[in-house]
Amino acid sequence: MDGLPNQTLWYFEYITPELVQAEGVRRVLYEGQTKYQHVQVLETGPFGRSLVLDGKTQSSEADEWVYHEGLVQPVMVAHSDPKRVFIAGGGEGATAREVLRHQSVTEVVMVDLDKEVVDLCKEHLPNHHKGAFDDPRLTLLHEDALAYLDNTTELFDVMIIDVPDPLEGGPAYLLYTEEFYGVVKSRLGPGGMVVTQAGPAGPINVTEVFAAINKTMARVFRSVTGYRTYIPSFGTTWGFAMGATEDAPDLTLLAPDEVDRRIAARITSELAYYDGVTHQGLMGLPKYIRQAIADETRVITKANPIYAI
């Protein structure tokens, strides 16, 4: 009988309608509906504790460090001196955690619409946030990120967009539009950089939203660098896209040695995923992804949004 009962409960994540990742569930820590979205906090066999919003895994203990270091560290390391950082979303607290590792950082403004989700993460995902919510440099606000940026006059060195996929009817699809990137750009200080999670980027789904997000950002920012890494709990390679203002460096030109030097100089704790060689791997996009971006013609706007599956 050993092990059997654990395997009677399964979580199905639909990567596409004909492709499902099924994960044995050991415990359902929470399931419910907030004002904005459906939330599950699951303890899965293969990935440990996972936050699932509207049926999509946001991050899991077993690989959240790949996702969060991959999202945060390249842009933080590429910036010459990141002091003020903005985070949209990031409810698990792990994005803030990665930002706060940097000694240079003096202030982090994190705007996550859904207080209920953040509170659930505080309670159920201690290995995600690792105390980041208690750091005095963090200001946590619960409002619409776009509204916040529209109404502020503050400027940021680094901005990180860590919101759910642009699902139809979901709370986040407007945060992937040309209009939104225009607002973001207006809030970047000199040499400022933005990075966004950018959806799946594997051979069968790179054209779903990743290519269009890159194309859209390229209409707003001087240089855009798409990159990707494999996140097992997402059931696919995952994409990110970095946009830089006039004076910011190109991510792909950052040498491995320089990455390692900056990490050593700026971060006292040990990173699990990111370093110079990892950077090189992250940025070395396979030919088919570069081709997909080059071929992409869609620009995402408020009037013509694009939705993930």
The stretch near a copy of itself (CB under 8 A) out of 117-125, 134-142, 163-171, 213-221 is: 163-171
Task: Pick out residues in 286-305 that bind a copy of itself (CB under 8 A).
Answer: 286-288, 290
Residue 284, SS3 per DSSP: coil
Residue with tokens 């779903």: 208
Q: State the catalytic residue, choosing from 54, 157, 162, 165.
A: 162
Helix (H) or strand (E) holding 76: helix 64-78
The residue (of 19 and 141) whose beta carbon lies closer to a copy of itself is 19
d(C-alpha 303, C-alpha 170), whole Å: 16
d(C-alpha 3, C-alpha 28), whole Å: 17
Q: 3-state SS string over 111-154? A: ECCCHHHHHHHHHHCHHHHCCHHHCCCEEEECCCHHHHHHHCCC
The residue (of 144 and 275) whose beta carbon lies closer to a copy of itself is 275
List beta partners, residue 162.
89
Please state the closest distance from residue 8 (CB atom) to a copy of itself, in A. 5
Of the candidates 56, 85, 306, the one whose C-alpha atom is nearest the C-alpha of residue 174 is 306
The residue (of 187 and 228) whose beta carbon lies closer to a copy of itself is 228
d(C-alpha 168, C-alpha 173), whole Å: 7
Please state the closest distance from residue 166 (CB atom) to a copy of itself, in A. 13
Please state the closest distance from residue 71 (CB atom) to a copy of itself, in A. 14
Please state the closest distance from residue 23 (CB atom) to a copy of itself, in A. 6
Q: Per CB under 8 A, does 169 bind a copy of itself?
A: yes
Total number of residues binding a copy of itself (CB under 8 A)? 72
Q: Are 308 and 167 in contact (CB under 8 A)?
A: yes
Alpha carbon 78 to its chain centroid, in Å, reads: 17
- Candidates 90, 93, 170, 239; binder of a copy of itself (CB under 8 A) is 170
d(C-alpha 281, C-alpha 283), whole Å: 5
- Candidates 78, 236, 262, 308; binder of a copy of itself (CB under 8 A) is 236
The residue (of 26 and 83) whose beta carbon lies closer to a copy of itself is 26
The residue (of 184 and 241) whose beta carbon lies closer to a copy of itself is 241
Task: Pick out residues in 14-73 that bind a copy of itself (CB under 8 A).
Answer: 14-28, 31, 38, 40, 42, 44-47, 52, 54-55, 62-63, 66
- Candidates 235, 242, 259, 292; binder of a copy of itself (CB under 8 A) is 235
The stretch near a copy of itself (CB under 8 A) out of 140-148, 165-173, 183-191, 209-217 is: 165-173
Q: Per CB under 8 A, does 249 bind a copy of itself?
A: no
Task: Pick out residues in 195-214 that bind a copy of itself (CB under 8 A).
Answer: 202-204
| Residue 275 bears catalytic tag | no
The sign of the dihedral angle between the CA atoms of 79, 83, 86, 90 is positive
* Type of residue found at 60: S
Task: Pick out residues in 71-130 that bind a copy of itself (CB under 8 A).
Answer: none
Instruction: Residue count of the chain, please give it.
Output: 309
| Cβ count near 136 (within 10 Å) | 6
Site string for a copy of itself, 250-289 (x = CB under 8 A): ---------------------xxxxx-xxxxxxxxxxxx-
Residue with tokens 């990031």: 90
Catalytically active residues are: 162
